[in-house]
Chain A
Amino acid sequence: MSLYDQLGGEAAVNAAVDIFYRKVLQDDRISRFFDGVDMAKQAAKQKAFLTMAFGGPNNYTGEDMRRGHAHLVAQGLNDSHFDAVVENLAATLKELGVSDELIGQVAAVAETTRNDVLGK
């Protein structure tokens, strides 16, 4: 069974999205990157992010990730912000009762995007 299915698929993404997005907006280290955007539209993008991190179906390429975060890199996005996002992601899953083992797998999936997200 894939990681995405083990986590519970789309239902897991739906359960996680509000919790995760609340954490991100309340995290002073990274909230500024999400300022000034339409919150409702952002929520859908957060789902895209979670689907990807959960190893779910998506058609994003590394190039898409580069392009999608380039304006944030220009605003100073770096490794510490990336780590903060992964931390919020892990805390969200913990809250939902996901095992440490699966949380580790999710973090590993996120890790594969680091260079692209940070434009390295």
Chain B
Amino acid sequence: MLRLDGIAAGYGRTNCLHGVSLEVREGEVVALLGANGAGKTTTLMAISGLVPVRQGRVVFQGRALGGLPPADVVGLGISHVPEGRRILPRLTVLENLELGGYLRRDRPALRQDLERLYELFPVLGERRRQLAGTLSGGEQQMLAIARGLMARPKLLLLDEPSLGLSPKLVVTIFETIARLNREGMTILLVEQNAYLALRIAHRGYVLEAGRLALTDTAPNLAQNPQVKSAYLGG
């Protein structure tokens, strides 16, 4: 579904990705792991067109995305839920969700999707008129994911959805992600929490300083001594 072929990307004049290649197949959850500053966020931004790709290719469903602006990438079916949630605190929950459906013109289907998301995330339904900034951290993460889903993506890019959440909420978020995947969503998941990420992922990649260090199935990665010592605290 999505393939990166040796992409180089970065900010300003310097690259911080040096030839990253990876693949996400339809129906998969793929975990992208790595230490702070390894380039995980940059990889997602390169896919969604938020940073320019200087070398290599990004191919989505047989189409090269090279140079497409973010709006077009969303239009093709890739939704990026950015790091740190980035909900709009001064707008209501509903306004945030409507923002996610910005590119869609099919009003009745939008309303159906809203209802479906309220079923998936009942808190969001209860608080639809509340300012998003008054939600708890976990609820805000739900909102960020729901907003991404409002674009009806084929591929969801999740950047550290567990960031700053209590352990209990982290589990809830991961259960939600696993459920989305069971219902058919393809997901590329960036995580610091390698342990949980590898439990719901099918395969994984490990980035180190802008290069791919390792790739394997999720169970194998979870057993890999290198991964264990670096990311699983053991």
A interacts with B: no
Binding site for A on B (CB under 8 A): none
Binding site for B on A (CB under 8 A): none
